[in-house]
Amino acid sequence: MKTQYGQVSLVDGGGFFPEQDTHRDVAWFLMDAMHVLNIDAVGVGDRDLRFGLAFLRDQAKRSQLPLTSANLFEKKTKKPALAPYIFKKVGTVKVGYFSLISDKVDLGPARDSMLVQDPPVAAKRTVDELKKKGATVIVLLSQLGKVESEDLVTAVDGIDAVIVGRNSPMLQKGRLIKTTVACYGGEQGQYIGRTILTLTPDRKAASGDNEVFILGPEVGEKAEIASIVKAFEDGFNEKLRKVEREQQAQAAARDMEKNPDKFLGSEVCIRCHAEQAEQWKSTPHARAWQTLVDNHKDTAGECIECHVLGFNKPGGFQTGTQTPSMTNVQCESCHGMGTQHEAFAATPQKVTEATCTKCHNKDNDPGWNFAAKLAKVKH
């Protein structure tokens, strides 16, 4: 991008911390990676506070990552918890960046020591301060969600671009809200948004456009980043495997709990449904687990659920080493637990679009079409 445009700024909207406690290492690693990429400003959401404010501050200091939040304050001192904004010259343009967190969220471990100021109040104050400093372009890194972000830039003038985060949909083309260009990049870091602002002679935004791109295989890798990622994933995956082995005894005990219904695995189904099984083996469903292994995602909790059978449910997948027979998208993934066979054999249950969209949703598979795909797996 920097080879195409002379004045480029890289930002992250925030909300990138992992959801699982066991994945805390991912938090500091992502901060290190963003530092290597020379990110100019990073927003802060409630997910980024899930390990506490002290952890976030320590990692920001260590990685020298430019975090900002305009409306997150220490309850005791009433002082900003982080830098309220970032002011930076990009080429010939003076740019101001600030972030907002919703005042409706749970701050987790930070809830007793932090308070969140009303977002519109904080936005108006921050925009005024940035303009006084000479900023001619102002960017909001929003952790307010789609509706609240749109309402805010409608009510508060002076924001040229907004990165919409926190449970945001992915929209390939951004929206123009009054004079603000909005970017909707979705979740899970699978997309990158490009906002182009056309400037007037005095370096103010005259017009703008946004487009979102999927980070697919066709997008080239930066060798330095690829090397860092591989080194981290190798070490982290081994660490998780050790944790898995320690938890196997507990998982086995849970699996043995008396439960009238549980997953049985495709080998049981195949005994009577051999013809259907042969068709299933020809589909990507039968190779779903291998795609995670090949991409070093076989310990990523947010990905595993859609690539295995009955993730963390009775009789279902626990870990790759403990329950290898429960990998892949199997018969029971669509047709229900095997112990319920007599019930749904007597009253056949139709596989509906809702069955599929639990995994094939807009974020994970934006081009998915029920009618077209059903024909390839129907048996």
CATH number at residue 368: 1.10.1130.10
Helix (H) or strand (E) holding 242, with range, is helix 223-255
Task: Say if 149 falls within a structural domain.
Answer: yes
**Could you tell me if residue 248 is inside a domain?**
no
Residues 58 and 192 grouped into a single domain:
yes
**Cα–Cα distance between 346 and 349 in angstroms, integer?**
9
Q: Mean pLDDT across the stretch 176-182?
A: 95
Three-class DSSP labels, 104-116: CCCCHHHCCCEEE
Same domain, 144 and 289: no
Instruction: Answer whether residue 322 shows pLDDT above 90.
Output: no
Q: Does the residue 244 lie in any domain? A: no
How many domains is the chain partitioned into structurally? 2
Per cent of the chain over pLDDT 90 is: 61
Regarding whether 182 and 282 lie in a shared domain, the answer is no
The per-residue pLDDT for 313 is: 85
Q: Is 45 within 8 Å of 101 (Cβ atoms)?
A: yes
Predicted confidence at residue 258, as pLDDT, reads 64
Same domain? For 210 and 343 the reply is no
Residue 119 lies in a domain: yes
pLDDT of residue 8: 94
Q: Could you give the C-alpha distances from 218 to 53, 86, 213, in angstroms and in order?
A: 38, 33, 11
Return the pLDDT at 153: 97
Which CATH number covers residue 124? 3.60.21.10
* Domain final residue pick, 198, 214, 230: 214
Q: Are residues 34 and 94 in the same domain?
A: yes
192 and 267 together in one domain: no
Give the list of residues 6+ apart from residue 310 with CB closer than 8 angstroms, or none.
262, 263, 316, 317, 326, 332, 333, 337
Pair (340, 193) in one structural domain: no
Whether 243 maps to a domain, the answer reads no
Residue 131 lies in a domain: yes
Write the CB contacts of 41 (distance below 8 Å, at least 6 apart in sequence).
9, 11, 12, 66, 68, 86, 88, 97, 99, 139, 141
Please check the confidence at residue 70 and state whether its pLDDT lies above 80.
yes
Based on the domain organization, do 67 and 198 belong to the same domain?
Answer: yes
Q: Is residue 234 part of a domain?
A: no
Give the domain-ending residue among 181, 214, 247.
214
pLDDT of residue 255: 59
Which SS3 state, helix, strand or coil, does residue 84 take? coil
**pLDDT band for position 188 (cuts 50, 70, 90):** confident
Q: What is the mean pLDDT of the chain?
A: 90
Same domain, 157 and 267: no
69 three-state secondary structure: coil
What global pTM score does this model have? 0.68
CA distances for 174 relative to 99, 211, 219, angstroms: 19, 6, 21
- Residues whose CB falls within 8 Å of the CB of residue 48, separated by 6 or more in sequence, listed in order: 14, 15, 16, 17, 27, 56
Contact criterion met (CB below 8 Å) for 210 and 11: no
Cβ 96 vs Cβ 133: under 8 Å: yes
Domain hosting residue 315, numbered range: 259-377
Choice among 74-78, 260-264, 325-329 with the minimum mean pLDDT:
260-264
Is the pLDDT at 133 greater than 90? The verdict is: yes
Residues 93 and 180 in one domain: yes
Which residue, 158, 186, 214, sits at the end of a domain? 214
Q: Are residues 91 and 197 in the same domain?
A: yes
CA 52 to chain centre: 19
**Are 195 and 324 members of one domain?**
no
User: Is 121 inside a domain boundary?
Assistant: yes
Helices (H) and strands (E) counted in the chain, each on its own, are 13, 12
Does residue 249 carry a pLDDT above 60?
Answer: no
